[in-house]
Amino acid sequence: MAITAFLTDSTLCIGCKACEVACKEWNGVGEDGLNWSGYSYDNTGAVGHSTWRHVKFVECAPEPGFGGNAPELNSWSFSSDVCKHCENAGCLEACPTGALVRTEFGGVYLQPDVCNGCAYCVVACPFGVVQRNPDDGRAFKCTFCYDRQKAGLIPACAKACPTESIKFGEIESLRRKATERMQELQRRGMRDATFYDASDSSVGGTHAMFIVRGDPRTYNLPPKPEVPTTYLKKAWTSSAIAAGLLLAGSVIAFLSENRSNGR
Amino acid sequence: MPGLGTSFGRGGATTAQQDLSNADVILIMGSSMAENHPVGFQWVIEARERGAKIIHVDPRFNRTSAMADIWVPLRAGSDILFLGGLINYVLTNNSEFREYVVHYTNAPTILREDFRDTEDLDGLFSGWDQEKQKYDPDSWLYKGAPTRDGGGPQPGHSEAGGGHGKDRGGEAQDAARFEWDTSLQHPRCVFQVLKRHFSRYTPEMVERYCGVSKEVFLKAAEAFTSASGPEKTAAICYAVGWTQHSKGVQIIRAAAILQLLLGNIGRPGGGILALRGHASIQGSTDIPTLYDILPGYLPMPFFEADANKFADYIKKHKARTGLWSGFDKYFISLMKAWYGEGATSENNFGFSWLPRVTGDHSHFGYWLDMQDGKMEGLFVMGQNPAVGAPNARLQRTALSKLKWLVVRDMVEIETASFWLDSPEVQRGELSPESIGTEVFLFPAAGTAEKEGTFTNTQRLLQYREMAVEPPGDARSETWFMYHLGRRLKQRAKDDTRPRNAGLNALTWNYPVEGKHAEPKVSEVLKEINGWTVADHKQLQNIQDLKNDGSTACGAWIYCGVFPEEGRNRANERKPKDLLGHGWGFAWPNDCRIIYNRASARPDGKPWSERKKLVWWDEEKKEWGGLDNADYPKNLSPDTPDDLAKGQGVEALGGARPFTLHPDGVGWIYVASGLKDGPLPTHYEPLESLLSNPLYKQQTDPAAQKKERPDNPYAQSPADPRFPYVLTTYRLTEHHTAGGMTRTLSHLSELQPELFTEVSPELAQEAGLEHGDWATITTPRAIIEARVLITRRMRSLWVDGRRLHQVGLPYHWGYKGRSKGDVVNDLLAISEEPNVRIMETKALVCNIEPGRRNERQQRKESEERAAI
């Protein structure tokens, strides 16, 4: 079974939100609520329990004579965010019930029928992807269209994308594509093009990679995502030292009391 | 689409969306293609990724601008000034594709001595009749063409008819007779007249009155005009951002002139793509829902003028040369399809049974009649005028004057519920008790619940099967129309009054199937394709049509879509090349790029290897290549023309690619067929902040304002009450009047509320707060919307002062999951002279902070205080 991934190229994204809608239609995800945000053309906010694909709209000031594809000026970008399906997935490591599992495609799948709603995964996700549904308390996130992949289909979002901004395929070939694309964008003078993979962080790479213009942080992509469990050893060591110190303190206190009693 | 029709011959996009990927430059103007045609836009992206430059001209920086290389913000309504600037740029820099222009356009043709240009008459062409408020186009004809006095046919400039008919004027049928100067030097040749006409459309003028800086204009002009000549091509995409102006047809004409000068028509990566806003809008003019044409752009006969004079009607519209020489074949075959055995040469094939146009029966024409109580009943199908039509308040009020109203839709749209929850009812102007209209709401089948064809933006017929049965009582349009017709015929069958003769003669015998007796749509398509009357054999192509009643054909342009029993080409789904041959059927004759004879030089060889499409195959002695030739297959390029005496398409000879025109060339100058002039001219919108900077004539002289107390206008120019420009548009997330999208949660949540887009400068001037409410006012109405302050809206410097533009998407209404004020309440009913479309893209308004009710109350109390 091939290890798969998404490569989302925001330089090709037209902000049509077909991925958001296709995701919801395929997965039967409900409405977020009819709230006009006033934040550009984005009224669904961020990835969450009821939005598994989310198109972020980043507005900068355009100038006459320059379209959004002008290398000189980044003016209005759209980028479709999604669960990163980390190699070292914080959510998966934190899950006490085994609801979160790694699939044969390399993605992280959340089994809603096993989830007990403890929300450990919510705080353990370095990207803020997993969220509990307030109605029943269970956590929900992108399934990587596990059912579609099992059936040999590509995920609904990638299928619906009209401009191939969302690419889906075998992870290594996508990495190569990303490298080629980055070279092409650099050649065109788009010096602010950035490839985001997070392979040099503690998440150890993701199954959702991005090409964006400018600082990835603008698109909710943290520069150094960290899996909370990387601190596990340090945390256990500190706890052990603290426990030891406490114990030692108690013993000392006890002994010294004995001494004073004996006086 | 007379803009394209008069320029090239056919009222349809000249190319296919896939072909955009062959372009070196794409100009998108009057359209936000990425937002409203996101799927087709993949080909623009494809072109861009292959190295093409994308230019987007639009008052707003929208999602299309975000994908473009060059964005040019301009003042809404100044399109012809901008395009005229481009034309002037081409002419002053001698960057036209000279060989193409000389051979394939009417640039060398010499005009009559009594023709006067707008430069001579301060904004009017010769022939303007001030009293009748219309043009007599006689003086526009070519030198040498017969005039009416000379016994020629009558022009098609009737007051009642629109310009859809045959997309050309009757009097131009003898445009085959002309004098010309291929050196293009004669002072009265079209080329020189054009030069003079646009000589004042300079970059300075564009800067001053479009609000486009000279630097940005030149950047766009250089980029666009660089894609010309044998090795390069540029394409233009437009949508209703050009159409919906009081001079919309002439904006498209300006684009046509530009593309003809640059040699970009009929060639790969060139052309003009008219982006249609609905799935089958092209189809609805081909097999029209319009009042002034019959299927295949045959003109509807007129009351009195065409009373019973069949021979005169044919004579008026049949040309001697070119494809319209077959007018009688197309018309008689249509009559045979409709009336079958009842149509005989003795009764003029049933000509007298056709209804006659007696006046302006366009949407606005009959809606104003409705408002004035002159109409009893109305069918509304596939439309939501209570939200989607201009001056929607008048549209709704008029509905209350009907006796009965039938609405067919998938949901209860605003048009069906106007009597209950319209703003008029909410305000107490109308009450359900006092409205006498009986409303019948019929549930309609959705797209996936019925079988049939769409004819899309690129003339492509695509067949779809029914995926699921429609629920409950929902039925297809075909079912409704067929059974309605059947019942009407049943009622009339014993009634021998003359008025019923046509109805009784109508063939109406489509086989039905299934539990709901659904008519077989493929049988309708077979009839549209046509057959031989004697042995009922499907016709292969247009050339098979006869004028003796031996063939029947429902729409001559679609002939070939069902060429043999069991072969429905609209339903073929095996594309075998980039242009998509093998997938669906493009009219005419499955040509994906029309006028493609122009992709080869006059001698039949491609202009270049890179831009080859169709060429003369010396061995096979026929036209071949990458597309089906839009030309007689065996007419060799060295065939001399015989325009003076010849008949039919063959008379054009081997090198005149625009076969619907009697002279076989593209029309830079339209001698006949348009009601507001042979050349595009800049006029201000009906409501404008500016005086026309170029001429005394302020607005398109032939445009009709339909001004009346319930359709009032601001003073123009510069009404102090309305200091801002207003433009309306659509968003990706919703479809037109919202009936199909505001009812769906997954789309409503994406754009849940009506908002207005304003620049920070305007927000400061008007005191608007981001996210707060604003009230927008025009002489017609007052509405409210949330404020979105964005730098994507720009205030422009126009004529030495700052000009602010207000943007409003128009999808909302008073029903559905996501509701909002009806933006179309703000607009006026107006009629562009040729197609009678309204002006929605450039008008004036005021914008103030606060909600509608507060504003209204304040206004009323101010008025009281004033008294």
pLDDT digits (tens, 9 = 90+) for B100-147: 999 999 999 999 999 999 999 999 999 999 999 999 888 998 988 766
Strand B622-625 and strand B614-617: pairing?
antiparallel
Q: Omega of the bond prior to B588 within 30 degrees of 0, cis?
A: yes
Is the Cβ–Cβ distance between B531 and B539 less than 8 Å?
Answer: yes
Q: What are B404's two structure tokens?
A: 């009965």
Q: How far is CA A164 from the centre of its chain?
A: 20
CA distance A60 to chain B (A): 8
Is the Cβ–Cβ distance between B409 and B739 less than 8 Å?
Answer: yes
B158 vs B14: which has the higher pLDDT: B14
**Are A14 and B219 within 8 A, CB to CB?**
no
Give the residues across from B380 on adjacent strands: B407
**Are A69 and B54 within 8 A, CB to CB?**
yes
B705 vs B2: which has the higher pLDDT: B705
- Asked if the model's pLDDT at residue B842 lies above 90, the reply is yes
- Asked if the model's pLDDT at residue B26 lies above 90, the reply is yes
Would you give the end-to-end CA distance of chain B in angstroms?
Answer: 50
Would you give the end-to-end CA distance of chain A in angstroms?
Answer: 76
- Count the residues in chain B: 867
Q: Which of B39, B212, B747 sits opposite A162 (nearest CB)?
A: B39
- Asked if the model's pLDDT at residue B167 lies above 80, the reply is no
**Are B750 and A65 within 8 A, CB to CB?**
no
**Are A67 and B69 within 8 A, CB to CB?**
yes
**Are A62 and B61 within 8 A, CB to CB?**
yes
As a whole number of angstroms, the distance between CA B812 and CA B728 comes to: 12
Mutation target to probe the A interface, by most A beta carbons within 10 A, among B45, B732, B749, B818 is B749
- Asked if the model's pLDDT at residue A232 lies above 80, the reply is no
Strand B25-29 and strand B234-238: pairing?
parallel
Q: What are B671's two structure tokens?
A: 């001698």
Residue of B nearest to A34 (CA): B749
Long-range CB pairs of B631-640 (<8 Å, 24+ gap) are: B631/B596, B631/B597, B631/B657, B631/B659, B636/B604, B637/B600, B637/B602, B637/B603, B637/B604, B638/B603, B638/B604
Mutation target to probe the A interface, by most A beta carbons within 10 A, among B71, B732, B794 is B71
- Asked if the model's pLDDT at residue B173 lies above 70, the reply is no
Among B680, B671, B678, B676, smallest CA distance to B144 is for B671
pLDDT digits (tens, 9 = 90+) for B525-574: 999 999 999 999 999 999 999 999 999 999 999 999 999 999 999 999 99
Find all residues with CB under 8 Å of B347, minimum gap 6, and list them: none
| Total structural domains within chain B | 2
Is the Cβ–Cβ distance between B118 and B677 less than 8 Å?
Answer: yes
Position B494 in a domain? no
As a whole number of angstroms, the distance between CA B450 and CA B371 comes to: 35
Among B410, B418, B411, B360, smallest CA distance to B389 is for B418
As a whole number of angstroms, the distance between CA B862 and CA B361 comes to: 41
CA dihedral B254, B255, B259, B260 (to 10 degrees): -30
Query: In the prediction, which pLDDT does B152 show?
Result: 45
Q: Which of B39, B216, B790 sits opposite A65 (nearest CB)?
A: B216
Q: What dotted CATH number matches A4-226?
A: 3.30.70.20
Position B742 in a domain? yes
Q: What are B562's two structure tokens?
A: 């069902």
**Are B748 and A59 within 8 A, CB to CB?**
no
Interface of A with B in 19-38 (CB under 8 A): 20-21, 24-25, 30-36, 38
Position B126 in a domain? no
- Other CB atoms closer than 10 Å to residue B286's CB: what's the count? 23
As a whole number of angstroms, the distance between CA B679 and CA B258 comes to: 12
pLDDT digits (tens, 9 = 90+) for B699-739: 999 999 999 999 999 998 989 999 999 999 999 999 999 99
Q: Which range marks the domain in which residue B728 is found?
A: 724-866
Mutation target to probe the A interface, by most A beta carbons within 10 A, among B44, B67, B795, B797 is B67
Among the ranges given (A79-88, B280-289, B596-605), the one the predictor scored with the smallest mean pLDDT = B280-289
- Asked if the model's pLDDT at residue B578 lies above 80, the reply is yes
> Which of B531, B550, B571 delimits the end of a domain?
B571
- Asked if the model's pLDDT at residue B156 lies above 60, the reply is no
pLDDT > 90 in chain A, percent: 84
Among B520, B500, B501, B495, smallest CA distance to B510 is for B520
Position B696 in a domain? no
- Asked if the model's pLDDT at residue B476 lies above 90, the reply is yes
3-state secondary structure of B330: helix
C-alpha distance from residue B641 to each of B324, B679, B864 (Å): 17, 27, 76
- Asked if the model's pLDDT at residue B171 lies above 60, the reply is no
CA distance A162 to chain B (A): 5
ipTM for the assembly: 0.91
- B672 pLDDT band, cuts 50/70/90, is confident
Q: Is B642 exposed, middle or buried (0-12, 13-18, 19+ CB in 10 A)?
A: middle
Residue of A nearest to B734 (CA): A16
- Other CB atoms closer than 10 Å to residue A184's CB: what's the count? 13
* CB pairs < 8 Å spanning A and B: 136
CA distance A177 to chain B (A): 14
Give the amino acid at B512.
V
Query: In the prediction, which pLDDT does B161 show?
Result: 61
Crossing angle of helices B203-210/B79-92, nearest 10°?
170
Query: In the prediction, which pLDDT does A160 show?
Result: 97
Interchain CB contact of A40 with B (< 8 Å): yes
Query: In the prediction, which pLDDT does A255 show?
Result: 85
Q: What is the CATH number of the domain that holds B826?
A: 2.40.40.20
What does residue A185 show for φ and ψ, rounded to 5 degrees?
Answer: -65, -40
Give the residues across from A51 on adjacent strands: A48
Which residues of chain B neighbour A162 with C-beta distances below 8 Å? Answer: 38-39, 41-42
pLDDT digits (tens, 9 = 90+) for B202-233: 999 999 999 999 999 999 999 999 999 999 99
B156 vs B359: which has the higher pLDDT: B359
- Asked if the model's pLDDT at residue B403 lies above 90, the reply is yes
Q: Give the mean pLDDT of chain B.
A: 93
Position B75 in a domain? no
- Asked if the model's pLDDT at residue B149 lies above 60, the reply is no
